Amino acid sequence: MNRRDILRGAALLGGASLLTPETVWAAAAADWTLGLADVEADIAPTALTRLHGRAPTALTGTLFRNGPAKFRRPGGSVGHWFDGDGMVRKFQIADGQTRMSARFVDTVKRRHDTAANAVITPGFGTAAGPGAAITGPDDANAANTSVLMAGGELWALWEGGSPTALDPATLETRGVKTLRPDLKGMPFLAHPRVQPDGTIWNIGLGGKQAVVWKLAPDGSLLKAEMIKLPRGSYMHDFTATARHLVLVLQPWVQDRFVMPFSTSMQWKPELGTQVLVLDKDDLSKQRIFELPPFFFFHLGDAWEETDGTIRFDACVDDDPSGTAANGGAILRGERLRAAPPRRALITLGADGKGAFAKEAISAEFPRSDPRFAGQVRRYSVHVTNERPDRPLFQGVAVRDWKRDTDQVFDFGPRHLVEETVFVPRPGSSAELDGWLVGTTVNLDAKATELHLFDARHVQQGPIAAWRAPVALPVTFHGVFVQA
């Protein structure tokens, strides 16, 4: 059912009131809520049923994805989508077969909430319940946002606390990572930036201060340095060129520290957006750019052109009234009063001037060829939702910045489309020579599906797909680890 059909239907009924997209969401079968349902137990390794196509023989490896999978308990539920317990999914592709398993991260939060039979742990949109005793951020760590492979360990990431180490073979939780004893409990964003050589950069945010993390590919700490920020913005993601760290400071600023955490922030569009660019080799070398006000969760990898111009894509909203503010409503199958984010290209000129170009296409979960991270690049991959009559996403897009074109594959309204990652063809070197790998929730089959695309021809649709015996709620972020 699309918006046009419904509006036509309303006109035919002669109704005086115009059905808005928001009303349509509530009125239509809210079966998209399958993407936000609770999982009660780990999923033991199981084969997926092949639906069509064949996995290319060169595509061998494991897709790990993370996302919240337990939201509601008898004594009390989370107040926000971001506060569900993290569950890591593993999709192993080998010899044309796919196997899946999924396991909850064994966090202090999950143990406390399970024992209380209620969500008592505070979070982004959840107040503390009776009996909550938080001694530090890792007591509230939901370990639910993303994953990172480092030195043979799989880390489950959550922006308010430490990474949580898992065994990548069994998905068993090994425990919270302390990268250095005096840095115990320092936060680690769920969006590290990994250079093509495997060096890992990340930020840990604390109001107007941050720690800059630099790790070796094996996860060992190379450097941890404190920096001051010109404002205490909420920052879910940052980006980087080969030479710089790029911190986008939106005007959703923290003016106190309270739980639920999202109530600590105030929207102040009059401040505009600032972008802080730091030299990776000397964090005291800083530049600030001014942009119009916008709200964002996610950015693409940045690049620097020969004349010093820095560019990167971003998925932007006009303000936080969408997911950030209404992540509780979505768990109740209620309407979200906002359009999906749209793609924007941000330019930071060598002359110190910033430019912000917002596009018409909706966009979230931006990814690109990891071999070109921080380098001049041509392509972005993201999800889209051009039908505003249903939340979550329905299509996969590949943006060609050089030719100014978009290729889109639309799964249609019966799929919830999740982040799709690029996997390079082994032995190739050209950008985007490889595949896109991503999951959807098929609302008709009531099952999670895995889809492969030829990355250069996404509009032709998946070249192969498999279906799981269960539907798991939508995930946020993941990585593909080649075998």
Partner 1 sequence: MTSIRAFGLALIATAAIASTAHAQDAFGDLTLTFPALASNQGKIMIAVYDSAQGWSSGKPTRVAIASASDNPAAAKVVSLPPGTYAVRAFQDVDGDGKMGTNPFGLPVEPYGFSRDAAPNMGPPTFDAAAFTVKAGANTQAIHLK
Nearer to partner 1, 135 or 306 (CB): 135
Q: Considering the complex, what minimum distance in angstroms separates the CB of residue 85 from partner 1?
A: 21
Nearer to partner 1, 143 or 348 (CB): 143
Residue 21 parent element (H or E): helix 21-27
* Residue type, position 223, single letter: K
Q: Considering the complex, what minimum distance in angstroms separates the CB of residue 209 from partner 1?
A: 7
Token pair of 471, please? 């539907």
Residue 107's Cβ-side half-sphere holds a number of Cα atoms within 13 Å equal to: 33
Nearer to partner 1, 234 or 267 (CB): 234
Instruction: Kindly indicate which of the ranges 48-56, 165-173, 181-189, 426-434 contains the residues binding partner 1, using the contact rule CB under 8 A.
Output: 181-189
Instruction: Kindly indicate which of the ranges 39-47, 126-134, 334-342, 405-413 contains the residues binding partner 1, using the contact rule CB under 8 A.
Output: 126-134
Q: Considering the complex, what minimum distance in angstroms separates the CB of residue 367 from partner 1?
A: 31
Q: What's the CA gap between 317 and 312, in Å, rounded?
A: 16
Which of 206, 217, 269, 293 binds partner 1 (CB under 8 A)? It is: 206
Query: 96 Cβ partners below 8 Å, 6+ apart?
Result: 50, 54, 55, 57
Total site size for partner 1, rule CB under 8 A: 19
Nearer to partner 1, 74 or 130 (CB): 130
Which of 13, 17, 74, 135 binds partner 1 (CB under 8 A)? It is: 135
Q: Check binding of 132 to partner 1 (CB under 8 A).
A: yes
Q: Check binding of 183 to partner 1 (CB under 8 A).
A: yes
Instruction: Kindly indicate which of the ranges 37-45, 65-73, 92-100, 184-192 contains the residues binding partner 1, using the contact rule CB under 8 A.
Output: 184-192
Q: Check binding of 283 to partner 1 (CB under 8 A).
A: no
Which of 226, 339, 357, 470 binds partner 1 (CB under 8 A)? It is: 226
3-state secondary structure 83-125: HCCEEEEEEEEECCEEEEEEEECCCHHHHHHHHHCCCCCCCCC
* Residue type, position 175, single letter: G
Nearer to partner 1, 201 or 294 (CB): 201
Q: Check binding of 185 to partner 1 (CB under 8 A).
A: yes
* Residue type, position 354, single letter: G
Q: Among all chains, which residue has been given the structure tokens 């600590």?
A: 264
Q: Is 218 exposed, middle or buried (0-12, 13-18, 19+ CB in 10 A)?
A: exposed
Which of 40, 95, 182, 351 binds partner 1 (CB under 8 A)? It is: 182
Q: What's the CA gap between 88 and 338, in Å, rounded?
A: 29
Q: Check binding of 229 to partner 1 (CB under 8 A).
A: no
Q: Considering the complex, what minimum distance in angstroms separates the CB of residue 455 from partner 1?
A: 41
Q: Check binding of 209 to partner 1 (CB under 8 A).
A: yes
Closest CA to 165 of 211, 105, 214, 237: 105
Subset of residues 244 to 263 that bind partner 1, contact rule: CB under 8 A: 259
Query: 78 Cβ partners below 8 Å, 6+ apart?
Result: 68, 71, 72, 84, 119, 123, 125, 126, 328, 331
Q: Considering the complex, what minimum distance in angstroms separates the CB of residue 40 from partner 1?
A: 29
The answer to whether the beta carbons of residues 450 and 49 sit under 8 Å apart is: no
Q: Check binding of 211 to partner 1 (CB under 8 A).
A: yes
Can you give the binding site for partner 1, defined by CB under 8 A? Answer: 128, 132-137, 181-187, 206, 209, 211, 226, 259
